[in-house]
Structure formats: structure tokens, C-alpha cells
Structure 1
């Protein structure tokens, strides 16, 4: 049995993609590999049946720094992010691993599935809710959409969808009104469990869209969790999008992304001397504070995308009894 330690120290969304290659490696070569990982996100690997504790200093252990150079071909080749680590590991080890599922590989313990959600702890009964991410990392401003547009979506669905706002404390997540505010109040494992209970997710291209696809749904839900992604034109859609998501991209609509994604980092320089401030990393078509590709995604576009899941019958609006429970919880909280 070949022993591998796979290392990657990128963002949590990248690590969710790494879980897929571990799953698919064992599916392609059962019993031939023992795998361990070194990442900044141990919570993503909890309960993973494909992880075997290994020591880097042992002579029969091979340590591989995992990358996905396939991304540099993504504008012109028909591959998804899921192929990135797989293609790299295949090249390093002479393998022929293929994706087995169109999502990452997150595992919940049986007891975790029985725990009530943080939302239920607040409103004192199980209620359907949508997670909303209205910001992002401060060094990747090109992925941001406008706070007032997120608020317009929340306002439109008042009384029929309850939104729960999340976001890492060190990132930029402007407060929304009339939401359950869990910004900075969830660690990564709690966030995974929150996604498990969520009826849907609204976010930019970020960790939450990958979790929306990778985390198991609750009984009674559709097989795949609804998710609306405000994507713009930074990435080619086929590299990022999942087949059951509403991926609101504008690739091909503007000259700056008419040949795949632009892959820029920022709307304007931040003055931090980082690579994202280089002229070649700045948006070339800005409208106000938004990249034009994001400006072309309107609140009505997002509202319609969310409504599709209800119109098609995949999920249902809040019932009158559920709305009453929310109102009582809100009154108690105030």
C-alpha cells in the first residue's frame, strides 16, 4: 500500500476541492493507497473515511504539495475545478483517476445530523432558511456584489424566506437588515452543519457554493441543495458552476471576458503592495464600485433565480405557522 500525505495551504474552498481527489483516488484504486492531509482546515476532513494518520518523517511516506495548474487552461478547455487536483495527482503518480461525483466530499457524523441548527436554537423550532453571503475576502474585491442589492433580495422575500447571514470575522461582510446575523459566530465545522440544515444558499463565487454542493441535504429536501451564485465574469462558468445551481455569470457579454474569465483580483488598488494591486490584476471596466460584469447582475436577476426553485416545486415557502414562529422569536429578541 502506497502512503501519501497531500498538502495544500490555500483557502477553504480549495480544500473542499481537495476532498474530491482523495475520494476519487480511493474509488479508482481501492486498497492501494493510505492517505493523510496537511491543510489549514482540519474541520473539513472530520469523519472522512479515507484519511489515515501518517507521519511525514516515515521513510515510506510520500509528501505531495498539491496544485491545480489546469486552472491556467480553464478559459479554453472543458474542465471543472474538480478536475484540477485530480489532473495534477495523475501526472505526479502516473494514475488515471477520474471524478466520481460532481461535488466535494464532506462527511457528517450521525450525531451531527441529529443536532439542531443554530437557527433552531434562536427561533425554538425547525424552520427552513437560506444562507446569504454578502461580502468576501478583502483582497479579492472583484468578487463582491453590492450590499444594497443583497438587501433588496432579502426585502423582496420578507415573510416567505428567512435569510441567515454568515461570514468570517476577518473578511468584509456588511450587515444586512431583517436577517439572522451569524457573521463571525460560526467556526468552519459549525458552518458545515449550518449548510446541512439550509434550504438554500445565496453567495458570490466562494466557499459556500462549494459547501452547498458537497454537504449532505436533510431528509425531505431535493437531492441537491438550491444555490444562487452571483458570479459576474471573473471565472469561466464551466470551471466553477455546479449543474444544480443558478450560476449568474456574464462571461461573453463584455469584451473583457469574451474569451473565458478575466481572472482579475480587484476593482481598484488597495495600496497594500500585494500582487492584486498590479495593473494587470485590476478590473478594466468599473461601474461605480462594481466590476461591470457584476453591475450587470441585477437584484431582479437574483430574485428570479431564487424563485425558480420554488416555482419548480423543489422547495416550499415558509408556511403561515413558520412565519408566526419567526415573528415571535424576533419580538423576543428585540
Structure 2
């Protein structure tokens, strides 16, 4: 945990690494983040870019939604060593979102650079998700074309949550033009828009 003085207040960064890391490229590292699914999707960009820049480093990850990493060629799924854990997060960039115009895909790469004092070239501005051949060959759950939406969001981040009644207006306007698919978990659909298909997880 690190402390940063902001004016007269002390700001705590809970994502800062607890381990004392030497500057430079490590031989082994486990990147750790336990934030929400969207954050982990952007974390995949940072891991991809780090591994491309330093292909000989043994890399592991710890995150929510670990299935997202199942087929990634960039990580060693057997690697588990508490001494090699480096906690990373997007806050270094997202806290400056009102001043900088960088995409969220830069956030984890920049945090790794900052903590290890290294340089990592930025790769594509898109998540790095790898599918198995079985997943590629599997028939689609819903025939396209379609758009996906996720109504709601994380409680406490109301600025990020588009009201469900507004989503209903969008779905109603587009219902004759494009199929809308709502994504979510079991129990999430009671108050969400009508006239859409749904893909429900467990």
C-alpha cells in the first residue's frame, strides 16, 4: 500500500505493490488485480504488451474471471509464487482522465512501467482474449447480426450507469433495425428492457 499527499489529505493506493521490487525487468512476475470484469479485459492489454516487449520473462496472473486467461499464450498457468506478486491497477491513468486523452487500454501497461521503471511499447487498443478451437467452431448461441448491451453496473459508480428506462427507449427505437442482446447473470433481468434477447450466465 502506498500513500500520496494530495493537498492536506492523504490518498491511499490499495493497488500499489506490497512487495519491494527492484527496478528493471524481472525474471518472473505474477501480475495481480481483483477489480471488475471490464478492468480485467483492459489488463489483458498490459500483459500482452509486457510479454511482447520481454518474451523471456515468466508471467503469471491473478484476477477475477480467470477463465478469460484460459488460452492466453502469454502466461504460465502453473506459476504460483507469493514472492513474485506485483499488484497493478488502472488508477494512475484513470485518475487523470479529466486531463489526459489516453485510452483505458494504456492503463495497466503504464502502471507496470511506473512500478518496474521499464518501457513497454503500446500494442493494439483492444482486449487480448484467446479462444480455443472448440469455441471458434461452436454454433452461435444467437444468430446475428446483433448488438450487445449490459444494463446496470457496479453500485457506487452511478455516473457509469445509464438508466434502465433510457435503455428501454434505445431498444424500442432500434427493435425493427437490429437485434439487441442483453448480457448478464441469473436474476439480473427482471427490470431490464423488453424486446431483446438475453444471454444469461450463472
Bucket of the pairwise TM-score, normalised by the shorter protein? 0.7 to 0.9
Query: Going by fraction, where is helix more abundant, 1 or 2?
Result: 1
Residue pair 2:186, 2:201 contacting (<8 A) in 1 also? no
Does the CA contact (< 8 Å) of 1:131 and 1:164 recur in 2? yes
1:36 aligns with 2:60: yes
Partners in 1 of 2:67 and 2:108 — Cα distance? 20
Query: Quick check: 2:42–2:127 contact (8 Å CA) kept in 1?
Result: yes
Corresponding residue number in structure 1 for 2:111: 88
Following TM superposition, by how much is the alpha carbon of 1:9 offset from its aligned partner in structure 2, in angstroms? 0.7
SS where residue 201 of structure 2 aligns? Answer: coil
1:104 aligns with 2:104: no
Tell me whether 1:116 sits opposite 2:139 in the alignment.
yes
Shift in Å, 1:167: 2.1
1:51 matched to which residue of 2?
75
Deviation digits for residues 127-186 of structure 1, max 9, x if unmatched? 32211222222332222223233222222223331111122347687222111133xx22
Question: Which residue of the partner structure matches residue 21 of structure 1?
Answer: 46
TM norm structure 2? 0.77
Query: Are the equivalent residues in 2 in contact too, given 1:134–1:173 (CA < 8 A)?
Result: no
Within-5 A mapping of 1:1-334: 2-31=27-56, 33-52=57-76, 53-57=78-82, 62-68=84-90, 69-119=92-142, 126-169=143-186, 174-182=191-199, 185-186=200-201
Please give the alpha-carbon distance, in whole angstroms, between the structure 2 residues aligned to 1:158 and 1:78.
34
Query: CA 1:173–1:2 in structure 2 vs 1: closer, same or farther (change >3 Å)?
Result: farther
Gaps of 5+ in 2: 1-25
How far apart are residue 88 of structure 1 and its match? 1.6
SS of the residue aligned with 1:36?
strand
Task: State whether residues 48 and 107 of structure 1, in contact with CA within 8 Å, keep that contact through their aligned partners in structure 2.
Answer: yes
**Distance (Å, rounded) in 2 between the aligned partners of 1:27 and 1:135:** 35
Higher strand share: 2
Q: Structure 1, unaligned stretches of length 5 or more?
A: 120-125, 188-334
User: CA deviation digits over 1:193-242, x for unaligned, max 9?
Assistant: xxxxxxxxxxxxxxxxxxxxxxxxxxxxxxxxxxxxxxxxxxxxxxxxxx
2:84 alignment partner, SS class? strand
* C-alpha separation in 2, matches of 1:171 and 1:138: 13
TM superposition shift of 1:99: 1.3
Give the number of the structure with larger relative contact order, counting CA–CA contacts within 8 Å between residues 6 or more apart: 2
Q: Which is higher, the Rg of structure 1 or of structure 2?
A: 1
SS, match of residue 58 in structure 2: strand
